[in-house]
Chain A
Amino acid sequence: MATQIENSTQEPRSSSRRSLTATRPLMGWRTVDILTIAFLGAALGVAFWGWGVFYNGPVTALKIGYAPLMGLFVGPWFLAGVIGGLVVRRPGAALFCEVVAALVSMLPGTEWGATVLISGVLQGLGAELVFAIFGYKAFGLAVASLAGAMSAPLQWGFEVMSLPAGGGGWYAEWVMRDKLVYLGAMMLSGAVLAGLVGWLLVRALARAGALSAFPPGQEHRESHAV
């Protein structure tokens, strides 16, 4: 009997394509989980701010041409949600990480004022939703890309909404076709610049031995132990 149990615990190791999940219970956040999300969020928040400065320069040039294409450059802002979800793999990780990042990037002053905080919630919710749909069990490249892409729609809705009495978001006055092109560009950017890049970053961090306390670090060890 004892050998059987050992065999059954061996099985998931051989199938390298399945993601490891966080320790049970999923809502049992350890201190290191909470701190890692907060610290990653803060570090990425600084990066967000830096990206905002860059975005304001060269990307503004693009706005002079066909503005909806600047959606192609929003991906980096979705990184915190994707990375937070991929590293800690617990419910709320993506949302928490993205909100902390938004909070930090807001402090030095940005071109979006306090809306940054709202954006953080909207983007984080999008990524969180994807991880939730997969039951916090799948954390491969496809799920990461989907989480990156789905960080966009709520944020897009906030930016392009127009109110019946007049008023609305930044791009309320655009026609629907331009708004939709903008959505497509944002989702593509999210899938690549947040999803793919975030997945690669997490893998690189696991290789660097920086994620030993988390499932990605465990995956890396097991794939190299054999």
Chain B
Amino acid sequence: MLRDLTLSVEPGERVLLAGPSGSGKSTLLRAIAGLLETADAGDLTGSVTVDGVVPGARPGAVGLVLQEPGSGVVAASVGRDVAFGPENVGVPRDGIRAVVADALAAVGLGDLALDTPTSALSGGQTQRLALAGTLALDPSVVLLDEPTAMLDQGSAKGVRDAVAALCSRPGAPTLVVVEHVLGPWVDLVERLVVLSDDGQVVADGPVRATLEAERERLLAMGVWVPGEGPPEPVAVDPALVTPWTTRTSPALTAVPLVVERTTRLLNGGRRTRCAAELTAGLEAVPGSLTALVGPSGSGKSTVLHALAGFLIPTTPDAVRVTPTTPDAGPPTPPGDLGAADLARTLAWVPQWSSSTIVAGTVLDEVLATSRALGDDGSRDIEIDTDRARALLAALGLAQLERADPRHLSGGEQRRLAVAAALHHGPAVLLADEPTVGQDRRTWAALVGLVAAYRTAGGAVVAATHDTHVVDRATVVHHLSPPAQAPEVPAHGIPLVARCGPLALLGGALLAVPAGVLSPHWSVSLVVLATQLVLAVVGLWAPGPGALARVRGTALRMLPGLVAALSVGWSTWFLAGRDLDPALTVALRVLVIVLPAAVLIPWIDPDRLGDHLAQRLRLPDRPVVATAAALQRVQSFGQIWSELSRARRVRGLGVSWRRPRSVVSHLGALTMGLLVRTLRAAAELAVAMDARGFATAWSRSWWLPAPWWWRDTVLVALSAIPLAVALLVPL
């Protein structure tokens, strides 16, 4: 990646690092942070010193903020997240409180409540939170790796303002920023370093003078130089991307719509909130470009999902498409279409373009949908292949034809996703931030291809914060974050919701000996009756909500009931067709399962981490990692459905009548989920090590893990069924 690179930065200096994609800017930042070997492979020679010592010598001396908002989020709440660094270096509890408040105030998040969920922050706030997390360790160097690349204008400015405020403080840390859009940073930095394609320093000097002197070279590299308008889109032959059928009317129309999202809450309830609102009707007229703009959190992606039929709006037929089929019926909601009809009509480029990858080589990836649709022999394979090659060449990917698409860079994957979406000639392209991470050269190619598709009669709907793309739009829809109804405070809180995680877990585990030790169904019946009474005691609270809790518990008991029936049956069948032992084992199952169904859902992952480490004295680092993983379990479900949708819209449907399609579908989704999971783990490892986790052998804990009297009550109550099981036979 990088070779023979020598760079020296003075304390307090502010440096902007520019260069073409793939010149090793991110690698250099990781080298400065001492994190090169955290999650990457390769050969490392040479050395980096910070204040004369290796970067890891003082944990957190070099802070790092990554490009993808959220990739470095460690905990479920704002306070916990900022406290992570100080915890790793063993700052005592009282000290952490002041550090956290200072760090949050320094990035302009001072008015957020400390228990604000990190998942509720916008992209810009998340990046500022990451900055606060590094500041909490009093870094002497702060490294920013394209911190605003994925943000809208307003959020990006918020992040830069936070950086500016940081730089103006006395004793401000040294700053190194990697960016390919230089303009907004010029006033913030003093020095500009330009890397070449092969990772050499080709220019280095005061920012304005260097920009002036190196303007042509930077433009040739594709760097977005301030004062320079967007590049001229590359001319692409419209014949490469001509839609399947010529249309005069829009293939997709939508009336104003609202999408709601329901989340399951820890207390067994559900909360429905408005996720996005499209306030004006939308028509994907052939040749048009519709831009969806708005700050992050305004629901641009959600509206695209609704247009593609992945999410159903509150009025189910608000979106209608006219399928591109020989015997096209009346307009229908896209969700009702089969995979093949959907793919012929719509194409989708998601924000995470790596999730649409369905093939093993770049060329196969481009051809995948055409092949799936051409099962009937209606397409000419040779012509299709030639056209795929031409598409790749137009996007600067020709030399990667045989590469594994999963090995491409983020920017390359995004261009590949557009090529793969357009190859089979859909009527409408739905694209989510298609130009993120592109330099001037690849931007010109991508925008040129989309222009050719429009000339050929295609319609484009794009969610974007790229002003140069918005300038080319025929219609612009401004989305604003939907107003949220205030949360209704809970009336009464049941006992189970007031107890700590260890008491809940212990209560559920006490049911195991109670079940195992019940010698006969008559005993089990008494035990079960006791448990039912206790369940009522534990779940009861004044006010509404009790019914929802009972319903939730009953739902979680369903698998247990099935298991009780089947275990009972098999015992009856195999143990002499005697009802007596069959009843015994069936009730045993219920005795073991019921307390778990009542108690387990109330365990909070973060608090479980606190308690496992502080009360049970389990090793700190695995406990923190497990809590971080538990926190992301919800997102695994989302990744799974995103992968599943991506396959469907690419024409790779599943039918229970074709078992092979089911197997390959499940296999592809499992692999996709695991790859994403592993990538998330690697990214988080970098972020955590940048905050001192590598050497966190004896951490401090910001939040205590108290054991209340009610925890004792819960455990004592949970022990009653066990006592019954032991005493009744006597």
A interface, CB within 8 angstroms of B: 29-32, 34-43, 45-47, 52-53, 56, 60, 63-64, 67-68, 96, 100, 103-104, 106-115, 117-118, 163, 165-175, 178, 201, 204-205, 207-213, 217-218, 221
Contacts and interface: CB of A to CB of B under 8 A. Distances in A.
A115 B563 CA distance: 13
B416 to A, nearest CB: 15
B517 A100 contact: no
Contacts of A201: 670-671, 674
B632 A114 contact: no
Contacts of B517: 163, 165, 167
Contacts of A172: 585
A212 B682 CA distance: 10
A166 B516 CA distance: 9
Contact of B509 (A103, A112, A114): A114
Nearest to A53: B559
Which of A36, A38, A107, A207 has most chain B Cβ within 10 Å? Answer: A38
Contacts of A108: 556
A39 B592 CA distance: 28
Interface stretch (B153-161, B295-303, B462-470, B571-579): B571-579
B593 A113 contact: yes
B58 interface: no
Interface of B: 38-41, 404, 406-407, 505, 508-509, 511-512, 516-520, 555-557, 559-560, 562-563, 566-567, 569-571, 573-575, 581-582, 584-585, 588-589, 592-597, 600-601, 603, 621-622, 625-626, 628-630, 632-633, 636-637, 640, 670-671, 673-675, 677-682, 684-685, 688-689, 693-694, 729
Nearest to B631: A42
A209 B409 CA distance: 12
A172 B633 CA distance: 35
Contacts of B518: 166-167
Contacts of A56: 559, 562-563, 566
Given A32-B39, A174-B575, A205-B678, A169 B516 contact: yes
Contacts of B585: 170-173
A178 B81 CA distance: 53
Contacts of A221: 41
Given A39-B632, A46-B633, A106 B596 contact: yes
Which of B625, B628, B685, B729 has most chain A Cβ within 10 Å? Answer: B625
Contact of A52 (B557, B559, B570): B559
Contacts of A115: 512, 592
Contact of B575 (A29, A166, A175): A175
Contacts of B581: 173
A161 to B, nearest CB: 8
A205 B674 contact: yes
B629 A63 contact: no
A56 B582 CA distance: 18
A204 B633 CA distance: 23
Nearest to B725: A167
29 contacts: A30-B685, A31-B688, A35-B628, A36-B681, A39-B629, A39-B677, A39-B681, A39-B684, A42-B636, A56-B559, A63-B569, A100-B626, A106-B600, A109-B555, A109-B557, A110-B559, A111-B593, A113-B512, A113-B560, A114-B511, A114-B512, A115-B512, A165-B519, A167-B519, A167-B588, A209-B404, A210-B406, A210-B675, A213-B38
B622 A113 contact: no
